């Protein structure tokens, strides 16, 4: 029985691994997450803010709902878009998804 006790004391103690080495996979995952998800989303949001800030009367736009029309008036929060003869709708400024090239509405008629 004395033999078992002495062999238990003879085992090496677990050596602690390096602090930075153990966090390296977490750091790599965060870096990938940042460059693949966060950074592109921030870039798209910045481009959309610039698009909304640059809206002008007469621009031909597509709303986030898919409506194509021409801006007839602009307010601080809302944009009035003419989608057909005698049909105008009011949408929030940030609901404008994209600005189309001039003449798009004439090409579609």
CA–CA distance, 58 with 77 (Å, rounded to integer): 17
pLDDT, tens only, 7-36: 555 555 555 556 778 889 999 999 999 999
Kindly state the tokens that stand for 55: 């809206």
Q: Single out the residue of 48, 44, 31 nearest to residue 92, CA to CA.
A: 48
What's the pLDDT tens digit per position in 75-101?
A: 999 999 999 989 999 999 999 999 999
* Architecture field, domain 56-109: Roll (2.30)
For the chain, give the mean pLDDT: 87
Q: Dig out the tokens for 81 from the structure.
A: 């878009």
Annotated domain spans of the chain: 19-53, 56-109
Phi, psi of 103 (to 5 degrees): 90, 0
Q: Enter the pTM of the model.
A: 0.69
């Amino acid at each position: 029985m004395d033999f078992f006790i002495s062999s238990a004391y003879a085992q090496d103690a677990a050596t602690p691994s390096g602090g930075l080495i153990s966090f390296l996979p977490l750091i790599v995952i965060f870096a990938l997450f940042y460059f693949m998800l966060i950074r592109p989303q921030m870039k798209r949001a910045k481009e959309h803010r610039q698009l909304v800030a640059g809206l002008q009367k007469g621009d031909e736009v597509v709303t986030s709902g898919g409506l194509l029309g021409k801006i007839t008036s602009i307010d601080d929060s809302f944009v009035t878009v003419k989608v057909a003869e005698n049909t105008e709708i009011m949408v929030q400024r940030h609901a404008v998804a994209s600005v189309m090239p001039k003449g798009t509405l004439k090409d579609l008629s």
